[in-house]
């Protein structure tokens, strides 16, 4: 063994002895610290007899369980008009002042008046209707003028046979049909979900989305496109309602003798108040630009005579207040006297007054069903669906 090895072994031994001594010294110091920490005479508050530990005084928190007996808040229907005024609950009853009172009580403050909805807002709601349209919100990058976007919107007016409309949020805060001169901060599109013939289908909706994105790019807008499956379900539900209420009622007049000459009929029908449309139909005007019911001669224009006339009422398109069925029956009875005819059904069986009254009762039930669905007969909503 060399001197170098002996020196290294010796140094290693000294190092090990030093580490061992240092560890022993640290153990001794720790032991003394622990003894000092636990050698004090402090009382343990948890071990005192007859004394409760001091607790900070605090008011108990009352837990309120959820309640289901309160009346639910009224559901707000979607609207594009001004927000409704707040409802005043438990308004004080105003007592009329008495002459015997020296100091009559002041009158209770009047409830805030309901804000009037402008004609433009009403028209906007009829064009883009949350009940019968698929709503298509469009966020604008900046306010735009109607003059700029109207030509672009004209390129998207129909998808299939379903109309597409657009309205805008004017800078004055009202929704309105987009017009020249208006400035708009938001837009809302709408495609009708169903018509008398069909419901909006997947191909039409895909076409709509594609064309809508093109329109949005041109006017600087970002569209929100609803989920196709949800839209298709809504469209089918609405079309089921339309198909189930597509009612047309007819009463027939059959000649009691020889067939009527068309020339003779024209004179009699004009006397009765019918108008002749360019397509050859006879309609009874309602006095407001539309009609109550129509009349058919049941023959082509080339025929010279007819033995039968049919008066037809499009029930969902005539408001109950106009009593379209009653007016049609009254007209039929008047023509009976003019033309020597009999009121019959589709099987040429005579219709008695009792049978006509029963049909009138069924018409009233039909109107109630449409009211319950929030699609009143003769309303703008009904006219759009049953056009």
Express each pLDDT in 70-90 by its tens digit. Answer: 333 333 333 444 333 333 333
Mean pLDDT of 110-138: 81
Predicted structure pTM score: 0.68
Task: Tell whether the model's pLDDT for residue 119 goes beyond 90.
Answer: no
Task: Tell whether the model's pLDDT for residue 29 goes beyond 90.
Answer: no
Task: Quickly state the pLDDT bin for 49 (edges 50, 70, 90).
Answer: very low
Mean pLDDT of 22-39: 51
Q: Report the pLDDT value the prediction gives residue 102, as an integer from 0 to 100.
A: 37
Please report the domains of the chain, with CATH numbers, ordered by start residue: 119-243 (3.30.1400), 248-385 (3.30.1400.10)
User: 331-363 pLDDT, tens per residue?
Assistant: 999 999 999 999 999 999 999 999 999 999 999
Q: Report the pLDDT value the prediction gives residue 1, as an integer from 0 to 100.
A: 58
47: which 2 tokens? 């071990």
Mean pLDDT of 244-269: 94
């Amino acid at each position: 063994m060399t001197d170098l090895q002996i020196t290294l072994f010796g140094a290693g031994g000294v190092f090990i002895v030093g580490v061992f001594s240092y560890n022993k010294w640290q153990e001794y110091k720790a032991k003394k610290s622990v003894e000092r920490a636990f050698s004090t005479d402090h009382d343990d508050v948890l071990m005192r007899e007859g004394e409760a530990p001091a607790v900070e005084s605090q008011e108990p928190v009352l837990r309120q369980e959820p309640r289901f007996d309160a009346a639910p808040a009224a559901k707000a229907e979607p609207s594009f008009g001004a927000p409704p005024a707040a409802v005043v609950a438990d308004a004080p009853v105003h007592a009329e002042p008495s002459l015997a009172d020296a100091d009559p009580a002041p009158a209770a403050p009047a409830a805030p008046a309901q804000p009037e909805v402008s004609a433009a807002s009403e028209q906007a709601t009829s064009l883009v209707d949350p009940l019968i349209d698929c709503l298509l919100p469009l966020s604008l990058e900046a306010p735009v003028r109607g003059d700029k976007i109207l030509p672009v919107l004209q390129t998207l007016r129909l998808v299939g046979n379903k109309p597409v409309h657009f309205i805008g949020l004017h800078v004055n805060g009202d929704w309105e049909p987009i017009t020249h001169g208006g400035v708009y901060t938001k837009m809302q599109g709408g495609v009708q979900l169903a018509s008398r013939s069909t419901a909006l289908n997947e191909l039409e909706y895909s076409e709509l989305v594609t064309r809508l994105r093109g329109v949005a790019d041109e006017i600087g807008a970002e569209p929100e496109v609803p989920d196709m499956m949800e839209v298709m379900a809504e469209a089918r539900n609405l079309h089921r309602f339309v198909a189930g209420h597509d009612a047309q009622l007819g009463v027939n007049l059959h000649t009691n003798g020889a067939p009527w000459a068309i020339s003779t009929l024209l004179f009699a029908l004009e006397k009765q108040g019918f108008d002749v449309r360019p397509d050859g139909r006879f309609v009874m005007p309602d006095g407001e630009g539309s009609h109550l019911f129509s009349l058919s001669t049941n023959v082509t224009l080339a025929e010279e005579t007819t033995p039968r006339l049919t008066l037809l009422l499009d029930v969902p398109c005539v408001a109950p207040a106009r009593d379209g069925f009653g007016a049609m029956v009254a007209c039929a009875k008047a023509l009976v006297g003019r033309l020597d005819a009999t009121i019959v059904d589709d099987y040429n069986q005579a219709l008695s007054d009792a049978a006509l009254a029963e049909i009138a009762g069924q018409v009233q039930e039909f109107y109630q069903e449409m009211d319950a669905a929030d699609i009143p007969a003769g309303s703008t909503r009904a006219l759009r669906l049953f056009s």
